[in-house]
Amino acid sequence: MSAFTSALRIALAALTRSKGRSLLTGLGILIGIAAVVVVTALGTGARERVGSQIESLGSNLLFVFGQGSQRSGVRIRAGSNFGLSEEDAEAIRREASAVNKVAVYAEVKPQVSSEYGNAKIAVVGIDRDYFDVRNYRIAEGRAFTANEERFKSKVCLIGLTAQQKLFGNSDPIGRYVRIGKYPFRVIGTLESKGQSQFEDQDDRIIMPIGSWRARVVPTLGNRVQLIMVTAKSAAHIPEAERQIDAILRQLHDIADGDPADFQVRTQDEFRKSQEAILGILTALFMAVAGIALLVGGVGVMNIMLVSVTERTREIGIRMAIGAKRRDIQLQFLIEAVLLTLFGGLSGIAVAVGVIAVLTHTLEWTMRLSFEAVTAAIAMSLAVGTVFGFLPAQRAAALDPIEALRHE
Amino acid sequence: MADLIELQNVSKQYVSGPEVVHALVDLDLRVAIGEFVAIVGASGSGKSTLMNILGCLDRPSRGSYHLAGVDVSNRSADARAIVRNRLIGFVFQGFNLLPRTTALENVELPLIYRGVGARERRRRAIRALTQVGLADRIRHTPTQLSGGQQQRVAIARALVTEPPLLLADEPTGNLDTRTSFEVLALLQSLVRELGLTIALVTHESDVAECAGRVITMRDGRVESDHVQRTPRDAAASLEELAAAPAGTAE
């Protein structure tokens, strides 16, 4: 241990003797480590966000999409994704035992106007189970009544973003929005769901599916884009998935094994596909950051090799007065590791700053984890050891007589 | 008196380009404790090779070397480093102090490799620097010291481990006459007072005159080896030099 502490002291003295060079060499590592830490924080933040978004959809959720493909050889509404119908939803509700609630969903994005202004806003037709399935809550006002659904009343609920676009800060309840030629009375506001991966979930107006069909898009018959289903419990999800598949195949007249014209996705699959995309992105950025770190490491090796050559005489003196090969090797290895550790710690500090700035100015979700910091420190140590090894080896292998003769 | 150095049949060859150089040929040499030996000879006579072997920086090709009764001729590099650290102090022509490093730190260095604790290291280094008359210069770096002072720091570094043997390779080669006698007077006092054994390589005759024994090398062999009953007293020479009028010293 004494050999180590004395080598540490010697290395520190050598580094402080050439401060400018040490700083510049450390800079390479600083950049690499800072890049790694920032990218990791970005990845961790994004993953957490995806997780909470998918959580916010509701629980034990399954999605059924139309595939917009062929049915009995006839292409149905090419390019449309309205491949399912209310009968499909009805059949699932009736026959699937593992299923709790079933909700239909249809959306268009027309121009919507109010007395204050107008904007393109998603207008969504749903049935009342949608509130339970999606965990939607009314912020103010009330939900639709059964009678309003039955009579296709011109009423709607409005999300926070749509509300700001159409009404600014004034209370929208009791006022009207106009979609096409019909005015709809706002009976309530929706609790905020926040930004999803692709869209603002609060930039929408929702209304009973009957009203939607009668007044907004009268040309779609009983077709819907999406059926959302909740399983009775998390354990029932696979069973529910199987049942839905069987019911829809029968209804659509598709044999087992043939490609279906619909797709059943669970929340877990959503999460997995999102995480896969994130994983690829993170890996890509990590590779770039890794290359930066590698370049920094090569810089350290370069400087250490120069340093060994410059200090050949010093090495000779040390050997003459009793330094063993291990002492010399340790001294240069510690110098390299101190350089990278210093660079790494400054890199972490810089990364913390960058993360703080990005979080505040661009409102990116970033999370600096304890693991990432630990890994960054470990990485700096590893880079120093790996890239310091060759120069240290070279220093230790010097012949004391030759080294003493070196000018 | 027991012999500190005992070389038997020592030869050293090395390959230099296409030729094999016989730097030392069947050399026998004994040096007793407390002797002050000057090794002289033309360049290429083998005196540097001899010093390297005596200093355990190099190994003989053949023959044996006993230092303080221990055979050190075939030790590994690390084992020789330990021998150098414990038994030998080095003084070089070019001083070889670490640049930008204080006198104190330079003198502490051998003790670091011996694993001596910081406090003890400091105490011993200050004592060694006091011995060479530099107690008031411990915080100076080599560039802040004169040549003579630097060489005295180097001597302090060689003495700090209290070795029985001090090897000096042209220690006065970079110094003027006055400073040379100062360093030689210091070396003589170390032999007299501490019983140190010194082997000194030089090509200057007035330096060799200060030693108790002069070995002349030629073509890798000992040409002559004689004892000087009354070696020149460097301290007295220094006084004569001071008494002489300026300009006639050389």
Distance (Å, whole) CA A293 – CA A288: 9
User: Which one of A321, A325, A326, A402 makes the best mutation probe of the B interface by having the most chain B beta carbons within 10 Å?
Assistant: A321
The average confidence (pLDDT) of chain B is 92
Helix (H, G, I), strand (E, B) or coil at A82: coil
Token readout for B74 is 């075939």
- What mean pLDDT comes out for the span A313-326? 94
Q: Do B81 and A319 touch (CB under 8 A)?
A: yes
Question: Which of B99, B105, B113 shows the shortest C-beta gap to A321?
Answer: B113
pLDDT digits (tens, 9 = 90+) for B104-153: 999 999 999 998 988 999 999 999 999 999 999 999 999 999 999 999 99
Confidence class of residue A79 from pLDDT cuts 50, 70 and 90? very low
Q: Do B82 and A321 touch (CB under 8 A)?
A: no
pLDDT digits (tens, 9 = 90+) for A211-268: 998 888 888 888 888 899 998 888 888 899 899 999 999 888 888 888 888 888 888 8
Q: Is B46 on the interface with A (CB under 8 A)?
A: no
User: Which structural domain, as residue segments, surrounds residue B73?
Assistant: 3-243
Distance (Å, whole) CA A33 – CA A340: 9
pLDDT digits (tens, 9 = 90+) for A144-191: 888 998 899 999 999 999 999 899 888 899 999 999 889 999 999 998
User: Which residues of B are less than 8 Å from A321 in CB distance?
Assistant: 84-85, 90, 109-110, 113, 157
Q: How far is A381 from chain B (nearest CA, A)?
A: 25
Q: How far is B203 from chain A (nearest CA, A)?
A: 18
* CATH, residue B65: 3.40.50.300
* Cβ–Cβ < 8 Å for B134, B142: no
* Cβ–Cβ < 8 Å for B77, B144: no
User: Number of structural domains, chain B?
Assistant: 1
Phi, psi dihedral angles at A78 (to 5 degrees): -50, 135
pLDDT digits (tens, 9 = 90+) for A350-390: 999 999 998 888 877 788 888 889 999 999 999 999 999 99
Q: Do B81 and A17 touch (CB under 8 A)?
A: no
The secondary structure of A308-367 as a DSSP string is HHHTHHHHHHHHHTT--HHHHHHHHHHHHHHHHHHHHHHHHHHHHHHHHHHHHHT-----
pLDDT digits (tens, 9 = 90+) for A264-274: 888 888 778 88
A74 or B8, greater pLDDT: B8
Q: Give residue A73's pLDDT.
A: 47
User: Which one of B49, B56, B98 makes the best mutation probe of the A interface by having the most chain A beta carbons within 10 Å?
Assistant: B98
Chain A contact residues (CB < 8 Å to B): 2-3, 6, 9-10, 13, 17, 313-314, 316-327, 400-401, 404
Helix (H, G, I), strand (E, B) or coil at A237: helix
Whether B249 is covered by a domain: the verdict is no
* Cβ–Cβ < 8 Å for A319, A398: yes
Alpha-helix residue ranges (DSSP H) falling in A168-266 = 209-211, 237-252
Task: Please state, as a whole number, how many other Cβ atoms lie within 10 Å of the Cβ of residue B71.
Answer: 11
Helix (H, G, I), strand (E, B) or coil at A112: strand
B204: exposed, middle or buried (Cβ count in 10 Å: 0-12, 13-18, 19+) = middle
- Axis crossing angle, helix B103-114 with helix B147-159, rounded to the nearest 10: 20
Token readout for A112 is 């919507």
Confidence class of residue A68 from pLDDT cuts 50, 70 and 90? low
A223-224 and A84-85 strand pairing: antiparallel
- Give residue limits of the domains in chain A: 2-53+273-405, 95-233
Rg, Å, chain B Cα set? 18
Q: Is B105 on the interface with A (CB under 8 A)?
A: yes
Distance (Å, whole) CA A368 – CA B247: 76
Say how many CA atoms lie within 13 Å of A167 toward its Cβ: 20
Q: Give residue A197's pLDDT.
A: 57
Q: Do A317 and B96 touch (CB under 8 A)?
A: yes
Residue with tokens 């042209």: B170
Greatest CA separation found in chain A?
103
Whether B248 is covered by a domain: the verdict is no
Q: Which of B152-161, B201-210, B237-246 has the lowest mean pLDDT?
A: B237-246
pLDDT digits (tens, 9 = 90+) for A103-134: 999 988 899 998 888 899 999 999 888 888 88
Distance (Å, whole) CA A120 – CA A8: 67
Helix (H, G, I), strand (E, B) or coil at A108: strand
Reference A206, options A266, A138, A278; nearest CA is: A138
Q: How far is A401 from chain B (nearest CA, A)?
A: 6
Q: Give residue B246's pLDDT.
A: 57
* Start-to-end CA span in chain B (Å): 39
Confidence class of residue B70 from pLDDT cuts 50, 70 and 90? very high
For residue A253, the 8-state DSSP code is: T
- Partner A, chain B 58-77, Cβ-Cβ below 8 Å: 58, 77
Percent of chain A at pLDDT > 70 equals 95
* Cβ–Cβ < 8 Å for A188, A140: yes
User: What are the Cα distances from residue A210, in Å, to A30, A84, A150, A153, A176?
Assistant: 61, 16, 7, 8, 19
Complex confidence, ipTM: 0.93
Q: What is the 3-state secondary structure (H, E, C) of chain B?
A: CCEEEEEEEEEEEEEECCEEEEEEEEEEEEEECCCEEEEEECCCCCHHHHHHHHCCCCCCCEEEEEECCEECCCCCHHHHHHHHHHHEEEECCCCCCCCCCCHHHHHHHHHHHHCCCHHHHHHHHHHHHHHCCCHHHCCCCHHHCCHHHHHHHHHHHHHCCCCCEEEEECCCCCCCHHHHHHHHHHHHHHHHHHCCEEEEECCCHHHHCCCCEEEEEECCEEEEEEECCCCCCHHHHHHHHHHCCCCCCC
Q: Is B16 on the interface with A (CB under 8 A)?
A: no
